[in-house]
A and B are shown apart, each in its own frame.
Chain A
Amino acid sequence: MIEIKDLVYEYMTDEQENKVAALDGVSLKIEDGEFVCIVGHNGSGKSTLAKHLNGLLQPTSGDVLIDNMNTKDESKLLDIRQKIGIVFQNPDNQIVTTVVEEDVAFGPENIGIESGEIRRRVDESLKLVGMEKYAKNAPHMLSGGQKQRIAIAGMLAIEPDILVLDEATAMLDPIGRKEVLNIVSELNKKKHMTVIMITQYMEEAVHASRLIVMCKGKVMMDGETREIFKHGAQLRELSLDVPDIVALRDELILNGVKISNNAITETELAEELCR
């Protein structure tokens, strides 16, 4: 379970000695097994929030607790990082070695697991992301989506309870994005892994059951994805847009088509219309 209490993070801008708050009093609670999506614009503080989750950044004030371990406690950092895996935006800058399977083994090697067990974890993680055929390949020969799957496998090999994707799909093409989204949805459903997906794309939020909207370092909206998509006007005020399907749904309702404002995916909307 993740508990964030009144988290504030300030940094100095270079020119004037003004403090800028990247995070301005964020309080959140994320339960085990949730699939949460955090959306927001550039500069909304969503990536800064991700880096607080495993102690890469330390709060100016407030606390971040992962299973009741405070990220401020340096002796607990390694334990926290075993519980929470973060996949970053650029797949190229997360891969450490020149062979795929050795890269996946990097995490477990760091925490000192014996070699037979590492082997098992590496094989299993690669299978989970569907990359077992590429175990001996050189990472730089793979596509962006494949590299990102390797990065996810590298995290899975640590066997964390929580997986955070910090704009992990931003640099991928539509196919790569789909691959990654499918994998994390599966992990959430089948392995009951807590997934926190940070993104700028509202379309991706559809996969999550809970949606958190951030703006200027504050949590603006927090609730069930379906409910939040009912407030299209409010989202547009934060210059975020609802997914195309939701926009279409709202437009249909506005023009007198008698359907409920519940559908958020293509199939749901089609079913609604055929009723």
Chain B
Amino acid sequence: MFKDITLGQYYPSDSAIHKLDPRTKILTMIFYIVAVFLVNRIYAFIFPAIYVVSVMLIAKIPLRYIKNSIKPIKWIIIFMFILNLFLSTNVENPTVVFEWWILRITHESIYRSIYITLRLITLVAGTSLMTLTTTPISLTDGLERLLAPLKAIKFPVHELAMMMTIALRFIPTLLEEVDKITKAQLARGADFESGSIIKRAKSMIPILIPLFISAFRRADELAMAMESRCYHGGEGRTKMNVLKFHINDLYAILVMIGMCAVIVVIQMLLPIL
């Protein structure tokens, strides 16, 4: 039942975006976040929006994936919207729209709420572009390379990347194991479905303990297998697939920088709303 799970939200495709170097994608994502925070007029959100939509079109990802990526945080968005609606009232001479008891909605707070909501949506939609177009494993690879300079201050970059890789590798294996243990316990008369929340949580213990024990055993065996395969840390290690920047990577980064510049300039020229 867990055999076909996909990790993260990677959307497989063969587009130019998918083929970009993972380092480029991480960097453009950082630029994108900067761009979104540079926006201080509502109309300027059109630029990140155009960017997200066009990248998705180039990457051949259905646009409904934007909706999917926002879904998990919809409560946060709603909460932020309401909070801002009532709280961002400390401006000089506010134009009150609605007032009742201690609650007060002003023109400015409505503006502020819409602004925050748009910022959240564009942030999440844009950053999910990276996870949609990059496999977790190449992301790990990209991070390892990008963080490589931190080795100078003894930051365990390679070890972190290796841990991520192994975690990703063992998620399906452990899920399969959970399935197996659950069935074994059910066959012994375990009951996971009835009773209060506390009782149900307690009934998970007979699944978790065997799972932990087997995970430790696996870790031990894996360590031995890795050592047998000459693993001795990141020192002197090479890679089969060496990451290479292509001309497209340059374009991607230029587009991002261009967008930041456009946002700043347009907002200076058009200080409306």
Contacts and interface: CB of A to CB of B under 8 A. Distances in A.
Contact of B229 (A51, A93, A107, A138): A107
Nearest to A118: B240
Contacts of B236: 111-112
B166 interface: yes
A18 interface: no
Interface in B164-180: 165-166, 168-169, 172-173, 176
Contact of A88 (B136, B173, B176, B225): B225
A76 interface: no
Nearest to A155: B229
Contact of A98 (B169, B227, B232, B240): B169
A58 interface: no
Contact of B240 (A78, A94, A122): A122
A95 interface: yes
A52 B239 CA distance: 29
Nearest to A56: B224
B93 interface: no
A139 B169 CA distance: 9
Task: Bin the interface of chain A by size.
Answer: 35 or more
B137 A96 contact: no
A144 B165 CA distance: 21
A112 B234 CA distance: 10
Interface secondary structure of B, over-half rule: helix
Interface stretch (A79-87, A126-134, A190-198): A79-87
B198 to A, nearest CB: 34
B100 to A, nearest CB: 56
Interface in A149-191: 151, 154-155, 158
A158 B230 contact: yes
Nearest to B4: A141
A111 B228 CA distance: 12
Contacts of A107: 229-230
Interface string B109-125: 00000000000000000
Interface in B144-186: 165-166, 168-169, 172-173, 176
Given A93-B222, A99-B137, A139-B169, A54 B241 contact: no
Given A115-B241, A115-B242, A118-B240, A96 B226 contact: yes
A115 B240 CA distance: 4
B230 A96 contact: no
B237 interface: yes
B218 interface: yes
Interface in A96-111: 96-99, 101-102, 105-111
A139 B176 CA distance: 13
Contacts of B241: 102, 115
Interface of B: 3, 136-137, 165-166, 168-169, 172-173, 176, 218, 221-222, 224-232, 236-242
30 contacts: A51-B224, A54-B228, A78-B232, A81-B228, A85-B229, A93-B222, A97-B169, A98-B136, A98-B137, A98-B165, A101-B240, A102-B241, A106-B226, A106-B229, A107-B229, A107-B230, A108-B238, A109-B240, A110-B231, A111-B230, A112-B238, A115-B238, A115-B240, A118-B239, A118-B240, A122-B240, A138-B172, A139-B169, A140-B172, A154-B229
Given A88-B228, A97-B165, A112-B236, 14 more contacts: A56-B224, A56-B227, A90-B221, A93-B218, A93-B221, A96-B166, A96-B222, A96-B225, A102-B137, A105-B240, A111-B236, A118-B238, A141-B3, A158-B230
Interface of A: 51, 54, 56, 78, 81-82, 85-86, 88, 90, 92-99, 101-102, 105-115, 118-119, 122, 138-141, 151, 154-155, 158
